[in-house]
Amino acid sequence: MHASLPDANTLIAQLAAAIAPNLTPETVIVGIHTGGVWVAERLHALLKCATPLGTLDISFYRDDFSRIGLHPQVKPSTLPVDLEGRDILLVDDVLHSGRTVRAAMNELFDYGRPATIRLAVLVDRGDHELPIRPDFAGLTLTVPNHQNINLSRLDDGHLTLSLA
């Protein structure tokens, strides 16, 4: 078992270094609420991305919406540029089943047809239920199903990863 997880900010810096050679001036970075937006904000700043940051709340696009209901913290999606023909870098904090990413792609296509969608995640914990894999991952590890990986943002803005 992993006694502790690496520093989230260090992983984000490594992720940015891996993404940088693949970024075009037209790439739109889009974070998935909530943790994915936090990671996307950092990547956007580190990569000095010229296009505005986009955010998605995929609550209404989840395939388990009828089972889990509406989350009380639903936030609006913000896509400040036309996605038609654009390269999208979709960002999430933890990739597990792949269902969140599938929902995010469904929502993106409601806004237009991107040229490409690449996926960057802070942690790929494996055990995918759908054929979705990250193009960029800060950390890949196996975690038992009864445990979760959580990204938290402290009052000072520092991001921390923990096993729960």
Question: Are the CB atoms for 56 and 111 separated by under 8 Å?
Answer: no
Q: Is the pLDDT of residue 1 over 50?
A: no
Mean pLDDT, the chain, whole residue set: 90
**What residues have CB less than 8 Å from 29, skipping those under 6 apart?**
40, 43, 44, 47, 49, 51, 53, 54, 89, 91
Kindly state the tokens that stand for 52.
């505005």
What is the rounded distance in angstroms from the CA atom of residue 130 to the CA atom of residue 164? 24
Nearest to 59 by CA among 71, 49, 67, 48: 71
Nearest-angstrom CA–CA distance, 107 and 81: 15
Place of tokens 């009864």: 146
pLDDT at 120 over 80: yes
Structural tokens at position 142:
């196996």
pLDDT given at position 72: 52
Q: Where are the domains of the chain?
A: 8-163
Q: Which fold has domain 8-163?
A: Rossmann fold (3.40.50)
Average pLDDT over residues 101-114: 95
Q: Which residue has the tokens 């739109």?
A: 28
Output the pLDDT for position 112: 93
Looking at residue 59, what is its pLDDT?
Answer: 83
Q: Which residues pair with 29 in a beta bridge?
A: 89
Amino acid type, 137: A
Tens digits of residue pLDDT in 12-22: 999 999 999 99
The tens digit of pLDDT for each residue in 27-75 reads 999 999 999 999 999 999 999 999 999 999 998 786 655 554 555 566 7
pLDDT at 2: 43
Question: Is pLDDT above 90 for 23?
Answer: yes
Q: Which residue has the higher pLDDT, 43 or 144?
A: 43
Q: How many CB atoms lie within 10 A of CB 111?
A: 18
Task: Tell me what percent of the residues of the chain surpass a pLDDT of 90.
Answer: 80
- Those residues whose C-beta lies under 8 Å from the C-beta of residue 114, and which sit 6 or more positions away, are 83, 84, 85, 86, 87, 88, 108
What pTM was estimated for this model as a whole?
A: 0.92
